[in-house]
Structure 1
Amino acid sequence: MPKARKQQVSLDDTRHYHCISRCVRRSFLCGRDQYSGKSYEHRRQWVEDRLLSLARVFAIEVEAYAVMSNHTHLVLYVNVEVAMGWDDAEVVSRWHQLFSGNSLTKRFADEEQRDSMEPWELDLVKMQADLYRTRLMDISWFMRTLNEYIARKANKEDECTGRFWEGRFRSQALLDEQALLACMAYVDLNPVRSGMAKTPEDSMYTSIRRRVRAAMAGKQPGALRRFDSKNRKNEGLPCHLNDYLELVEATARAMVEGRGHMDECTPPLLQRLNVDVDCWLELTQGFEHQFCHYAGRVDSLRRCGGANQMQRVRGTTAAKRLLG
């Protein structure tokens, strides 16, 4: 029986989530239809553009993504502090970039009309702004705003109606840095693993390609959550960018060459995470299927289970074997 979304996404447990959306049509989200010969490759750009534009509006940062032929993978971070720092005018302005709002919020958005609003009207706007703020840091609203846009656009192009995506997206809570970085690598290496690309930098419509290209210029892409080499809490991803890129590159080589193992020199980041090389390769081959709604080390899963009064947390066996 599916678990309620509010039970899957709890910011008290973690701010990091892996979200997967799958297409229900034979014609796929992207790629080429073998029967009609029609190409849908241009839709990958739709998804990437919409995803990154939403990240500039929501208090949700993109940590990793991959747009595949019939599904998408996202790793998202909910930045609660940023959302709580917005004043009501900022919240309303951001909401109006995506939705029309109502007559009161439209007047409030105009500074000249705002000055003439009655106190009771301002109170109603404040209540509405509080609701908008909550939605702007809600992963369900983020995914809804992404997927509905793509579905409508695809339906219009295909001149049809009906479902484009499965009924709901799947989400996995990433409870610690081992789970987070393993999931990011799993997502970033999707095109390599499926044979669509030979190297991470050749993987089109992925976060790893965007990070590699930015790194070549000595930068980090502004559209993605940054890596924080100083490991300051909640100020970035918990490692140095170069360490992550080195680990992903070594993992990709092992996949492409079919060796099933890495070079003799274990990447420093893997040593710091205290994850065995063989376990890492297994994680990056099938992270999505190793865990259910929660992913992390055994102690993280037990802590999450205790906080949510769960008698049993699925994935404990995999966690003990792969993450310790």
Structure 2
Amino acid sequence: MGRALRSEQFDPAEISMMHCVQRCVRRAYLAGVDPQTGKDYGFRREWIRRRMEALASVFGVDVLTYAILSNHMHLILRNRPDVVQAWSDQEVAIRWLRVFPGRRLEEHLAEPTENDVATLARDKERLAEIRHRLSDLSWFMRALSEPIARMANKQDECTGRFWEGRFKAQAIADEAGLLACAMYVDLNPVRAAMAETPDQAPHTSAYDRIKADQGDQIDSAAFDLVPVDTAEAGKTIRETPVEALKERRKKKHVNPSGKRIRRDGWLAPFRLGKKPASDPELSEGGVRASDKGFLDLDWGDYLKLLRWTAKQSDEGSGREVPEGMQSVLTRLGIDLSMWRDLVWNFKRYFGQSCCAGSPSAMGKFAESTGRHWSKGQRSVAQCFAA
């Protein structure tokens, strides 16, 4: 069975959650120490994290969890067409121009002006297409991957493909699949022996949330969503030397909006609130699409379960989750003795499947795409209570 079509997995016009994986094609590492050359590319992880953070401030996409490893990265994303529809035409225009400024005579001057924003906002047909793209996970991943590939190629002094191909997308079929996938993503560095615990695994969403609880703050990478005054921009270009303009833009790139935020401030909030599902919960901070959570579980309880699961590194099932952490798994129908196996062997159960979740949810997803069943649906049944 070939890989499912993107149109079968998600629709930018409908809210959906996807587990996305992008893998580097080269022998040289995406990040970390390359065993062939001895070069350490670990700093590229921060390139990727900051790019994700910047895109979270302009796209109608919530970043739920992520992990950046040596030669690939995992993200769980939720597209938010309801959020994009609530933005004004001017907001849509400035957000798009910040990421895709278009061809200009002077690339280092590619700052959207008030005139640029007004011109785009008047083009209703073009704007409708842009609204669609701002909640499209494929466009989000494109805006994330392409700049990283160009920067890495320039640094490596080479050309050609940097990524293995199009990113792998796997639909999250229900809350059970979301919880298991979130822990699988957060524990990837532990599984890869890059860290002993989630607390020691930088460039993961769990690490960011743990550090944020300890009061850690960072310079925000969010785009500045205020257009440049057209007249002032013209005056600056005429009177400022090109090298000075380049240097000014380089400094602004470090902290475009001048904000400092919690380390996890750009990620989606953890717990799903009690507001109606129809409420988009627009973010007022300008650093993420919305303030809507994604799991019916407190962060503290998730962290306890995550730390316990991280310690169960040896192969085998049959270890029941401690009593204080059992209620959420029981509610989701997960066999307590199989929880460790479901997370640590997530790839075994769901690696070839177009979706992840309970057997019933996987079956419903298969029906929605014209199939009779989803790969892995039968084998994962052993991880769920009858």
Say whether the fold is shared (TM-score over 0.5): yes
CA 1:283/1:252 → structure 2, altered by over 3 Å: closer, same or farther? same
Amino acid corresponding to residue 149 of structure 2 in structure 1:
A
Pick the aligned partner of 1:227 from 244, 255, 270: 270
Indicate the residue corresponding to 1:100 in structure 2: 101
Aligned length: 314
Amino acid corresponding to residue 128 of structure 1 in structure 2: R
Shift of 1:309: 2.5
Within a 5 Å distance, the mapping from 1:1-324 to structure 2 comes to 1-10=2-11, 15-101=16-102, 110=114, 114=118, 125-217=123-215, 221-228=264-271, 230=273, 232=275, 234=277, 235-238=292-295, 239-255=297-313, 261=319, 264-265=322-323, 267=325, 268-291=327-350, 292-323=353-384
Amino acid at match of 1:161: T
CA distance in 2, matches of 1:263, 1:303: 28
Q: For the residues of structure 1 that align with 2:35 and 2:68, how far apart are their CA atoms?
A: 19
Identity %: 37
Letter in 1 for 2:56: A
| d(CA) in 1 for partners of 2:125, 2:147 | 27
Question: Which whole-Å deviations, capped at 9, do the CAs of 1:5-42 have from their partners, x for residues lacking one?
Answer: 11122468861110011111111101112222111111
Cα 1:37/1:47, change in 2 over 3 Å: same
* Unmatched tracts of structure 2, length 5 or more: 105-109, 217-261, 278-291
Counterpart contact for 2:31–2:45, Cα < 8 Å? yes
Contact 1:14 1:173 in 2 (8 A): no
The structure 1 segments of at least 4 consecutive aligned residues displaced by more than 3 Å after TM superposition are 10-14, 111-114, 216-220, 229-235, 257-264
The 10-residue stretch of structure 1 (170-179 or 35-44) with the greater mean CA deviation from structure 2: 35-44
Residue by residue over 1:57-106, the C-alpha shift from the partner in whole angstroms, topping out at 9 and shown as x without a partner, is 11101111000001100011112211110111110100011112589xx9
Q: Deviations over 1:256-286 (max 9, x none)?
A: x778636643514323333123322112113
Return the alpha-carbon distance in structure 2 between the equivalents of residues 321 and 12 of structure 1: 35
Distance 1:97 1:12 in 2: 22
CA distance in 1, matches of 2:375, 2:12: 19
Shift of 1:214: 1.7
Residues 321, 112 of structure 1: alpha-carbon distance in 2 compared, 3 angstrom cutoff: closer
**2:294 partner amino acid:** L
| Deviation of the 1:141 alpha carbon | 0.6
CA distance in 2, matches of 1:12, 1:313: 24
Q: Return the letter of the residue paired with 1:278.
A: S
Give the superposition deviation at 1:111.
Answer: 5.9
Report how far residue 204 of structure 1 moved: 1.0
Cα distance in 1 between the residues matched to 2:377 and 2:182: 20
Q: TM-score, normalised by structure 2?
A: 0.74
Q: Are 1:65 and 1:207, in contact at CA under 8 Å, matched by a contact in 2? A: yes
Whole-angstrom CA distance in 1 between matches of 2:333 and 2:117: 59
Deviation of the 1:245 alpha carbon = 1.1
Q: Structure 2 CA distance, aligned partners of 1:279 and 1:9? A: 29
How big is the shift at 1:315?
A: 2.3
**Cα 1:31/1:311, change in 2 over 3 Å:** same
How far does residue 173 in structure 1 lie from its aligned partner after superposition? 0.2
CA deviations on 1:193-248 (whole Å, 9 max, x unpaired) are: 11111111110110000111122349882211112264556531222111111111
| RMSD value, Cα | 2.7
Greater Cα shift, 199-208 or 301-310: 301-310
